[in-house]
């Protein structure tokens, strides 16, 4: 399991990214911004984590092309079945132009290249716009 | 073909709705608001119309459960492949709660029951928010 | 009870408005748009209706100065305790400028004079922007 | 002066439109929606009206090509100098694609053909989104 | 007075937070982002500062439970009486779910735990969305 | 030419700012956020760069008063002629209040003083809100 130790006092963001260089950029950007990134090695394991620990993860950051059978579009759809307002940020190069037809509502696509600040702003906005619940 | 004669001076809205009662409500609401509704009898025919007459239709209003093999979610995805900002309004009863996972970005779901004014406002807002192009 | 017969196939909007002229304008505007207005004679009775029939009313349209002890600001706050995303539209003349300090988040203030279409657009937008649930 | 008698209890919308057919459409759409359209025959006269009766007009609806020296882009700029949040809706055929470079912020462009409901929704939204003031 | 020396070239943000740990997080996040945080020890003193130095503070960041008689909800209401568009960010754990009924319009609630970047993004967005005035 | 070496893997932001102190603040803020700032010494040269290398620059950050004949308002208008959705952020002290009449639609004005985080959030939001294209 590539999942970091989870900190109760920090929002945990589930990240699925196969490319090691991009994964490091995402991991560093989120950590520097005060989030706790939790890396999932495949879409299938990400869905298992989301199902098993409801409420633990506050947002999903996912690449589109993943090493298992499930791509990022499908992971986001399944995440939204558990939580209809779950924040979703996609990262992609070649697949960015498919977002208007394959993305979920109220999600954000970051086409590569993107600056780390764009990722942090995207995740922050999606979290800040949720109606807080008891 | 259930498609009305198309008026050059009025925005044409493609409508896919099997239920005759709802179809009449939608048809009347759009016509009274000054739009030209064009009824497509199935998702497959709607996609054929969108492919064959690019730029003719300004928005899609679709039910989810349709009589062919293609449901409303799939029609919207194909419409967005032709035009990434194509306005989409879904109408549904039982399937409304699937919108967060199956809808396309920047679309609107009208859960039944809805007032005709909600449909007109939804279509108008999606059209008004597009960046005009040459 | 000033409440109309409720129609299962039309969204019901709870309206609190003491001024007979404005009440007629609001009632006519909502009915013509395809909503079912349900008139409550005071804020206290509106809160009782909202508590007693959860899910029945889809939005609140309220004046600020009401004949009971409870004003429109307080009715909206109580409505939001039952449903954190309950659509709220305020109508007011003299009190409109208090909205930034006394209104609830994601509500709309219609300062008098307003056109009936503004009311219909306000209610429609608030309904259309809700995430549909099962 | 082509200006209608102004009604104190109805929001007055200043309209500049040379084409008689479109002017009739706009006039009818706004009146049916409960607004009071006030027709100005040229951009110059519109600016004179806005300067002379501050607070009288609640929004501007303007074509781009006008019969005087001043076009619709310039009228909107001058209207915004008097009131930085003045609601502006442009109507145009050939000039619609110039909106991203020549329009003012927070305005709406309605490319022809448009449905009357789009105009009413545009004006209503701009009015409803203003922060009410004393 | 717990108020820092104010810098003319930096936007000053008024902060009310009793919990020392959270206060340090907020103070550091805002300073690192280029804001000047000014700490007020109670809601009463915050209101006195806002009244006494109009235009000095650009935004309010407040906890809900405060040590004086005035809670964060009330401070925000009073801040909005001076300036109807004053940016307000609430921070809270237990009270976050009261935001839909007790918050002011166009404010942001950050439920704990939150990342420092969420606070910075919230304050930046509220400031960036204001219409600039002379 | 004051233009930095351009990095293929980082979004390049075109910056026009005569004041050396502000230019350093902007340059540092964008670089720290992961963008590549490219400084243009005048509006005329900025327009030449935008024309000559379409797609190279992702956003414009510009002061209003510039040393050539072309001011920041005009540069933004010309940038939008090439790309109708080109992200534009203005920075200004004295001219900020002219934004409602002279700015382009969907742009952001940062009145001085502003925090570096406001600039980064403004640029990030404009980039994140674009519909990705092939």
pLDDT in tens, C14-72: 999 989 999 999 999 999 999 999 999 999 999 999 999 888 999 999 999 998 999 99
- Contact of A105 with chain B, judged by CB distance below 8 Å, is answered with yes
CA of B61 vs chain C CAs: smallest distance (Å): 14
- Band of the pLDDT at F6, cuts 50, 70, 90? very low
**Is the Cα dihedral B35, B38, B39, B41 positive or negative?**
negative
Phi, psi of D22 (to 5 degrees): -65, -40
Which residues of chain A are within 8 Å of residue E99 when distances are taken between CB atoms?
A: 131-132
Going by C-alpha positions, the residue among F41, F39, F81 that lies closest to residue F60 is: F39
CA-based nearest residue in chain D for residue F83? D100
Residue A104 DSSP one-character state: P
pLDDT value at C2 more than 50: no
Considering only the beta carbons, identify the residue of D97, D100, D105 that sits closest to F100.
D105
Query: Is D85–E131 a contact, with Cβ atoms under 8 angstroms apart?
Result: yes
CA-based nearest residue in chain A for residue E94? A134
- Band of the pLDDT at E7, cuts 50, 70, 90? low
CA pair distance D35, A89, nearest whole angstrom: 42
Going by C-alpha positions, the residue among C82, C99, C89 that lies closest to residue C127 is: C89
Cβ neighbours around F126 below 10 Å, total: 20
Residues 3-62 of chain F with CB under 8 A from chain D are none
Query: Is F133–B84 a contact, with Cβ atoms under 8 angstroms apart?
Result: yes
CA-based nearest residue in chain C for residue B92? C132
Mean per-residue pLDDT, F92-98:
95
Mean per-residue pLDDT, D124-128:
98
* Cα–chain center distance at B37: 9
Mean per-residue pLDDT, A24-43:
97
- Contact of B100 with chain A, judged by CB distance below 8 Å, is answered with yes
CA-based nearest residue in chain F for residue E9? F113
Gyration radius of chain B's alpha carbons: 13
Q: In sequence order, what are the residues at sequence separation of 6 or more whose Cβ sits closer than 8 angstroms to the Cβ of residue E29?
A: A34, E116, E117, E119, E120
pLDDT in tens, D19-48: 999 999 999 999 999 999 999 999 999 999
Q: Please tell me the total number of residues recorded for chain D in this structure.
A: 134
Structure tokens at D49: 């009206």
Going by C-alpha positions, the residue among C120, C89, C121 that lies closest to residue C104 is: C89
> Which pLDDT does position C8 carry in this prediction?
65
SS3 at position A33: coil
Bigger pLDDT: B6 vs E59: E59
- Band of the pLDDT at A3, cuts 50, 70, 90? very low
Q: Please tell me the total number of residues recorded for chain C in this structure.
A: 134
pLDDT in tens, E59-95: 999 999 998 999 999 999 999 999 999 999 999 999 9
CA pair distance C14, C36, nearest whole angstrom: 9
Mean per-residue pLDDT, E34-44:
97
Query: Is F78–D85 a contact, with Cβ atoms under 8 angstroms apart?
Result: no
Which residues of chain E are within 8 Å of residue C103 when distances are taken between CB atoms?
A: 104-105
Mean per-residue pLDDT, A46-62:
94
Contact between B19 and C9 (Cβ < 8 Å)? no
Bigger pLDDT: E102 vs F7: E102
CA pair distance A123, B133, nearest whole angstrom: 31
CA of C9 vs chain B CAs: smallest distance (Å): 5
Structure tokens at C99: 């909205």
Going by C-alpha positions, the residue among F27, F22, F24, F53 that lies closest to residue F38 is: F27
CA of C73 vs chain E CAs: smallest distance (Å): 10
Q: Which of E33, E91, E112, E121 to mutate to test the interface with A (most CBs of A within 10 A)?
A: E121
- Between the CA of residue D56 and those of C113, D10, D81, D119, what are the distances in Å? 12, 10, 16, 20
Cβ neighbours around B23 below 10 Å, total: 17
Structure tokens at B17: 């709705």
State chain B's mean pLDDT as an integer: 93
CA pair distance C122, C108, nearest whole angstrom: 7
Q: What is the pTM of this model?
A: 0.95
pLDDT in tens, F43-71: 999 999 999 988 899 999 999 999 899 99
Contact between F126 and F105 (Cβ < 8 Å)? no
Cβ neighbours around E78 below 10 Å, total: 18
> Which pLDDT does position A1 carry in this prediction?
35
Which residues of chain A are within 8 Å of residue B102 when distances are taken between CB atoms?
A: 77, 104
- Contact of D121 with chain B, judged by CB distance below 8 Å, is answered with yes
CA pair distance B105, B107, nearest whole angstrom: 6
CA-based nearest residue in chain A for residue F123? A118
> Which pLDDT does position E4 carry in this prediction?
44
Bigger pLDDT: C86 vs E3: C86
Which H or E run contains B64? Answer: none
């Amino acid at each position: 399991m590539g999942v970091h130790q989870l900190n109760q006092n920090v929002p945990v963001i589930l990240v699925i990214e196969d490319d090691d260089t991009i994964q490091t950029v995402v991991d560093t950007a989120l950590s520097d911004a005060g989030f706790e990134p939790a890396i999932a090695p495949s879409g299938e394991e990400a869905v298992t984590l989301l199902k098993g620990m409801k409420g633990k993860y506050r947002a999903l950051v996912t690449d589109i092309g993943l090493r298992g059978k499930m791509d990022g579009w499908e992971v986001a759809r399944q995440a939204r079945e558990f939580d209809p307002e779950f924040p979703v940020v996609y990262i992609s190069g070649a697949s960015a132009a498919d977002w208007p037809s394959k993305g979920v509502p109220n999600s954000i696509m970051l086409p590569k290249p993107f600056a780390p600040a764009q990722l942090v702003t995207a995740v922050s906005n999606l979290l800040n716009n949720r109606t807080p619940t008891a």
